[in-house]
Structure 1
């Protein structure tokens, strides 16, 4: 696999949405746009009762923002548009009327932690350590922060945001509420995800829709909140500190 993609398959009324990028499943703007639209479409598809969000490859679930695109941001408007990509995916997941199960097979960084936190039920392997690295490059997890705080609490979110050098193990993430279960192997994870998703398909879709709206109560202002946060990141990515740091990734 060398080309980025977002694809959807349907099996036994479960919609599997998979994204991939050869750079450790990092997410450039075009992939973020396609991912948000695919989630929205799946939410409106009557053939799908439950959604599974996953990534391609065996190792990294998501490396977060594309450094290649970050390096090339030269004005605040472009920066806001880029970071709004993550906001749009999170809001698509929030507004989707169907449960979204996260399948996290490996390490997840930055925006990837935000995606995991925005699922409704997240399952992982023991290799799925998490890190919020944004402070390292002179910005912060502003866009994904509300989703992570909602799922893990302010204390856990602030801990990994400040300790931006450290990968926290999957069991830590489970104890903080990000993951519901942690499995020894990817094969065991896939079996559990399939079983859970297909079992949920037997439930009343209206009941699940109402439950989801309750789970996300209090987030009605996120369209504007996450846009404001994207503007903060879009401004900070232009700072001399961040520009000098990003040069080291070229």
Structure 2
């Protein structure tokens, strides 16, 4: 299957789905489409709640596209690429609708950021998480505000420093990254549908105000995440990162 980002609306629920054959990794064009679809659903009066999901039954999101990272040759392009994740996180944050994330499998790097930026995240037991950025010479700078907001600085630093370890879905649940964890994808899908159905019947103005209250203090994230994207955009040009990416690509 080829990569895609799609959205559909049914019964007041707007569902946006992304897919990439390489573990649902995210090249820049995918990130731009995802941010645009989330904004579109947020602006659509027929949508009362947004569900974010990825295609397939394995990884939820493997993070940044290694191939695209290797193609970056200057700081401007580096900042532009990492701004893609920033734009998706900010689209989720600023959408006037609650965002439910469905995490059916492993989430790495930017995938953890997407899970953290949702207002309510449900997952399966297979949805382990990892922040592997240090292993390739960069850091989880763009996603750190969203991840720290959900799990706290201590847990964020633990994941960032122990960058080769996957942390279980149970651990992510304990640290409040996941609100609920299920045995199977079928059970996950049932819970997502049930929750989205309930929310679609609630007062949209009340949910909008609830979201505003929950995200108070993040009004500077447009500028903050742009600064973090610039940090990553510089580091990705290093010899360390190029060598690490080539080694991983060839393994």
Q: Structure 1 length as normaliser, TM-score?
A: 0.99
Corresponding residue number in structure 1 for 2:115: 116
Query: Aligned partners of 1:5, 1:96: CA distance in 2, in Å?
Result: 21
Corresponding residue number in structure 2 for 1:243: 242
Q: How many residues align?
A: 249
Query: Aligned partners of 2:192, 2:62: CA distance in 1, in Å?
Result: 22
Secondary structure of the residue that 1:220 maps to in structure 2? coil
Corresponding residue number in structure 2 for 1:56: 55
Query: Aligned partners of 1:245, 1:202: CA distance in 2, in Å?
Result: 49
Corresponding residue number in structure 2 for 1:223: 222
Query: Aligned partners of 1:70, 1:160: CA distance in 2, in Å?
Result: 22
Secondary structure of the residue that 1:64 maps to in structure 2? coil
Secondary structure of the residue that 1:83 maps to in structure 2? helix
Query: Aligned partners of 1:244, 1:98: CA distance in 2, in Å?
Result: 42
Query: Aligned partners of 2:51, 2:83: CA distance in 1, in Å?
Result: 23
- Runs of 5+ consecutive residues of structure 1 not aligned to the other structure: none
Q: Structure 2 length as normaliser, TM-score?
A: 0.98
Corresponding residue number in structure 1 for 2:11: 12
Alpha-carbon offset, residue 202 of structure 1: 1.3
Corresponding residue number in structure 2 for 1:148: 147
Query: Aligned partners of 1:141, 1:180: CA distance in 2, in Å?
Result: 22
Corresponding residue number in structure 2 for 1:24: 23
Secondary structure of the residue that 1:15 maps to in structure 2? strand
Q: Deviations over 1:88-138 (max 9, x none)?
A: 000000000000001000000000000000000000000000000000000
Q: Deviations over 1:188-208 (max 9, x none)?
A: 000000000110111110000
Query: Aligned partners of 1:186, 1:238: CA distance in 2, in Å?
Result: 39
- Runs of 5+ consecutive residues of structure 2 not aligned to the other structure: none
Structure 1 moving runs of 4+ over 2 Å:
none
Alpha-carbon offset, residue 16 of structure 1: 0.8
Alpha-carbon offset, residue 27 of structure 1: 0.3
- 1:1-250 to structure 2, matched below 5 A, reads 2-248=1-247, 249-250=249-250
